Structures are given as structure tokens and as C-alpha cells.
Amino acid sequence: MQNQLASNWNRARILIVGDVMLDRYWFGEVNRISPEAPVPIVRVEKREERLGGAANVARNTASLGAGTALLGVTGDDEPARVIDTLLGEMGISSHLARDASISTIVKLRVIGRQQQLVRIDFEEAPTDTVLRDKLTQFNSLVGAHDVIVFSDYAKGSLVNVAQMIAAARQLGKRILVDPKGDDFSRYAGASILTPNKSEMVRIVGQWKSEDDLTARAQKLRAELGLEALLLTRSEEGMSLYRDGDVQHFPTMAREVFDVSGAGDTVIATLAVMLGAGASLVDAVAMANRAGGIVVGKLGTATVTREELLEG
């Protein structure tokens, strides 16, 4: 059954919209403490650049073979050119607007002895003019895709998400959202939201029991008019809330090394499965498997078809 579904992954057409970033990793040796301050000295020996944020979601859908398009905003700078190159290498259709007045979002992680020592973020919100152009571009792209994924990192690229969801819903598209912030009402009308545990607490408050969580989750799902709400719960796995039904998926992680980007892999796998015609339960089961694999890797990473289908 899984192999039959995998043969359809190439047919899935996914449009990813959101905050596009470049993840930079500097790896080095740590042999002494600085005489200037009580911090380790890292002698950088290797550098890596990876697609981050919404671009990492695109990287994940493309690695599974789905036709992938990415809509977002970058600066007009060197990191933006690196992102363009990386997208091209993966065959991702790039629809990135260049905003010369801002810098591309960059997350620089310094790694020593296989541990992250510091992360340095460079970011600015895009301008209103570029965001208006992006909404027009979205309306021209949405019709050609099966599943629309909104990857919200609260960096300013999705201020028009409510209008985008309305346009996609009118065309009958499956709409997936990885949400952020204290107000999920702007995601009303989406098909599926995929909050993690801390994001859920911010919206519905701390629950006292599993029954209490189910009641709060179902209330939120109904208020937002969602088909389903998928709560990712780290070591507790995932819980899928649908009308009158809740289903739990135990964690598949064999070893947790790095959780950064795990939510990107989960929503990407979910999108590819749904775009290939899988049932929601089968799609969540595969996304859960993908999340369990990717947390065993360093940094923002992807899973392959072979990893997902083995066993």
C-alpha cells in the first residue's frame, strides 16, 4: 500500500507560502575558552548552507518527489542568491519577491563538538508594497496546485494569509497551516492546522487531562471551521482531532538528536501524502514516521522516500 502511494507522490503539486530563510551552519573544533570572556573559542572548519523556514518545507516536499513551488520574500542580497541556487538544485519552482529595502532572513548556527553553541538571527519584515504584489502572485498560482501549505514563522510574510486562505478555499484546495502567534483566527477556513504543544497552550491554555485537551482542541477546531487539527506533541507523538473523533499516533523517534525543522518535515510529508490521494489518517501516520526520522538528524534536514518506506 505504501509503495503504491509513493508512486503517486510525483503527481502531487504543492504550493508553499511563508517566511523564507537561509540556515547557515558553521562547524568547528572547541579546544579552549576565550581569555576575553568565559565563552568557548570555535575554530571554524566547515560551513554548510541549507534552505530554512518555508523553504525547508519546500525542500522536504521536493525530496519526496512532489512538484513544488515556493512563494515568499527575500532581500536583494547574497543570501537571497544562495537561496535561489539551492532551490534550483532541488528543482523547486521559485516565486520569490526581492525586497531591496530588507535583508534576507538568515539563521547562523555555530556548532562545536556536535552541539549548537550559539544561534545568530538576521531578520527584517518585508514592506507593504512587496506583500501586496505577493498576494496578487498567490492568486495567479493557487489554481495550478493541489495542496497549499502556509508556513508561518511570524516574520511578516503572511500578513495576508486570511485572504489567501479564502481564495484557496473558494477553489476547493486542501489548505495546511503551520501556525504561529497568539491568535489563530486568521487561519479560519483552512483544512488542517498543525500546532505543536507550546503553540497550542498559548491558544487554548494549559489542559489538566487528556479529556480536557480533547475538549479544548475540538472547540478550537469547530470555531475555526477546520477539517482537522493535528497536534504534534514531541515524545508523546501526535493527536488528530476531527469532528467527533480523536486519534493518537505514538512517537516513532528512535533517537532525538535535533528537533529543529521537524515541524517542516511533518507538514511537508502530510501535504505530499494528501496531494497523492492518501486518506488523512494514512497521511498523518506517514508524517509521524517522517518526524521520528528527522529528529535523529542534525539541523534542518529532510527524509527520503527510502527512509519512509523501509520496514
In the three-class reduction of DSSP (H, G, I as helix; E, B as strand; rest coil), residue 1 is classed as coil
Query: Is the confidence at residue 80, as pLDDT, over 60?
Result: yes
Burial 105-133 (b: 16+ CB within 10 A, else e): bbbebbbbeeeeeeeeebbebbbeebbee
Query: pLDDT band at residue 296, thresholds of 50, 70 and 90?
Result: low
* pLDDT for res 10: 85
CA end-to-end span of the chain: 13
pLDDT tens digit sequence for 172-192: 999 999 999 999 999 999 999
Query: Is the confidence at residue 169, as pLDDT, over 60?
Result: yes
* pLDDT for res 133: 87
* pLDDT for res 252: 67
Ranges of each domain in the chain: 2-20+52-103+125-309
Query: pLDDT band at residue 257, thresholds of 50, 70 and 90?
Result: very low
Look at 11 and 171; give whichever has higher pLDDT. 171
- The mean predicted confidence, pLDDT, of the chain is 90
* pLDDT for res 5: 59
What phi and psi values does residue 171 have, to the nearest 5 degrees? -90, 5
Catalytic residue among 99, 146, 258, 264: 264
What phi and psi values does residue 80 have, to the nearest 5 degrees? -65, -40
pTM attached to this predicted model: 0.90
Give the other-Cβ count within 10 Å of 89's Cβ: 11
| DSSP-assigned letter for residue 186 | G
Query: Is the confidence at residue 258, as pLDDT, over 50?
Result: no
Q: Is 121 a catalytic residue?
A: no
Tell me the average pLDDT across 41-69.
Answer: 94
pLDDT tens digit sequence for 196-222: 999 999 999 999 999 999 999 999 999
CATH of domain 2-20+52-103+125-309: 3.40.1190.20
Percent share of the chain, pLDDT over 90 = 75
pLDDT tens digit sequence for 223-237: 999 999 999 987 788
Tell me the average pLDDT across 37-63.
Answer: 94
Percent share of the chain, pLDDT over 70 = 91
* pLDDT for res 1: 47
In the chain, beta strands by DSSP E:
13-18, 20-33, 40-53, 67-74, 93-98, 105-112, 115-122, 147-151, 174-178, 192-193, 228-232, 238-242, 245-249
